[in-house]
Amino acid sequence: MSTRYEIRIPCALSDTIRAAFPEMDAVALGPATTVLAGPVRDQAELHGLVARLADLGIDITEIRTQP
């Protein structure tokens, strides 16, 4: 069973972000805020998403589960 997560990042939505996270829905909340949302199977997959953001040099503002 997966849990739906929302990851908020402090950068503009770009083709690079869309390409790096094809399994997630990417939504621009403003000129400098993007939310990645989608199902995450387990903690290992969540850690993988966080690692990919770190590899791209992108900070995380917030991570939360969605109801």
Q: What is the domain count for the chain?
A: 1
Q: List the domain range (segments joined by +) for residue 33.
A: 3-65
**Which residue in the block uniquely carries the two structure tokens 């997630």?**
24
Distant-in-sequence, close-in-space partners of 61: CB < 8 Å, separation ≥ 6: 8, 9, 10, 33
Whichever domain contains 46, its CATH number is 3.30.70.250
Tens of each residue's pLDDT in the chain, 67 residues: 899 999 999 999 999 999 999 999 999 999 999 999 999 999 999 999 999 999 999 999 999 998 8
Structure-token pair, residue 27: 């939504």
Global pTM value: 0.92
| pLDDT at 67 (0 to 100) | 81
